[in-house]
Structure 1
Amino acid sequence: MNPTAFAFIAVIIGGALTALQGPTNARLASATGSAVNAALISFAVGTVALLMLAAVLQTRVDMAATRALPAYAWLGGLYGAVFVVASAYAVPKLGVATTIVLMVAGQMLVSLVLDHFGAMGVPRQPISPLRVLGVAMLIGGVLLVRRG
């Protein structure tokens, strides 16, 4: 399969599962008494799944390469933890659609800045009026989803 097509499919599936993650973790938070507890259980299950996938794929960690990484490269799990806790907390209060749209709006705003400056090793793509308009339309969508 074409790597670009595979990436599109992977991202669509990942996005679809992200929509399921909020209500799943909200239910877990309700049962465990805390969004933090829900995130802890969610990450434990995810860790087990990743360990099994790594074993099946027989992946190996390049320790020399990991030692050369910048400090921010180790923070992905922290970002994910904040995402999971925030969604578990917000879904019962805002609903799934509003929570997801707000998260996407936040992602788009930060993405524009990262792209513009080429931060964290991403290819530089300057902010343009069309890109800003796209994010503005997304934020408008947040308002429409919330009021609808």
Structure 2
Amino acid sequence: MQQTLLFLMAVAAGAMLAIQAGLNSGLGKAVKSPVYGALLSFVAGGLALFAYCLATGVPLGNVRKGFELPWYYWMGGVLGGFYVFAIIVLAPRLGVALTIGLTVAGQMIFSLIIDHYGMMGIPTQPVNWLRVAGVVLIIGGVVMLRTN
């Protein structure tokens, strides 16, 4: 894929997270529980992904490889569940912009650590002043989003 297409895909994914925050917040309110709201969101996502796999012919046998991995690889789903739960709780209280801004700041800070140390098999990309400056600018943007 061309890098431009990858960048556009990343921007689209970010836009979908902001939309998801509002939708999941409404779902959590409707069922009167952020946990059930997150659960229903994951059920819908799981069904959509399963339908996509069936429609595109992704071999179901590939799923077995996932069961061969150590247990901690399955924590991604647990972490995703916490993220959706947190968004359902935070978006109505902080607003979508500040909530997403804070989560992006957290993502960027920890992403630098993952890249720097090459954690989880990710290729190493050492921290340098430009990368730190990028994170500082993101944090500055989050500070500017505060409405208080």
- Output the TM-score relative to the length of structure 2: 0.91
Paired amino acid for 2:45: G
State the Cα distance separating 1:140 from its structure 2 match: 1.1
Paired amino acid for 2:44: V
Query: 2:127 aligns to what SS in structure 1?
Result: coil
Q: Give the aligned partner of residue 16 of structure 1.
A: 15
CA distance in 2: counterparts of 1:3 and 1:129, whole angstroms: 28
More deviation in 4-13 or 29-38?
4-13
State the Cα distance separating 1:133 from its structure 2 match: 1.2
State the Cα distance separating 1:73 from its structure 2 match: 2.0
CA distance in 1: counterparts of 2:89 and 2:142, whole angstroms: 18
Q: Give the aligned partner of residue 44 of structure 2.
A: 45
Q: Give the aligned partner of residue 123 of structure 1.
A: 123
- Report whether the alignment pairs 1:87 with 2:87: yes
Q: Give the aligned partner of residue 58 of structure 2.
A: 59
Identity %: 40
More deviation in 138-147 or 7-16?
7-16
Query: 1:136 aligns to what SS in structure 2?
Result: helix
CA distance in 2: counterparts of 1:41 and 1:4, whole angstroms: 34
State the Cα distance separating 1:104 from its structure 2 match: 0.2
CA distance in 2: counterparts of 1:104 and 1:72, whole angstroms: 23
- Could you say what the CA RMSD is over the residues aligned between the two structures, in angstroms? 1.7
State the Cα distance separating 1:57 from its structure 2 match: 1.4
CA distance in 1: counterparts of 2:63 and 2:50, whole angstroms: 17
Paired amino acid for 1:6: L
- Report whether the alignment pairs 1:114 with 2:114: yes
- Output the TM-score relative to the length of structure 1: 0.91
State the Cα distance separating 1:64 from its structure 2 match: 6.3
- Write the deviation string for residues 104-134 of structure 1: whole angstroms up to 9, x where unpaired: 0000011000000000011100111111111
Q: How many residues align?
A: 147
CA distance in 2: counterparts of 1:37 and 1:128, whole angstroms: 42
CA distance in 1: counterparts of 2:71 and 2:4, whole angstroms: 32
CA distance in 2: counterparts of 1:101 and 1:133, whole angstroms: 16
CA distance in 2: counterparts of 1:100 and 1:121, whole angstroms: 27
Q: What stretches of structure 1 of length at least 5 have no aligned partner?
A: none
- Write the deviation string for residues 41-93 of structure 1: whole angstroms up to 9, x where unpaired: 10010011011000011112436643543433222111111110000100000
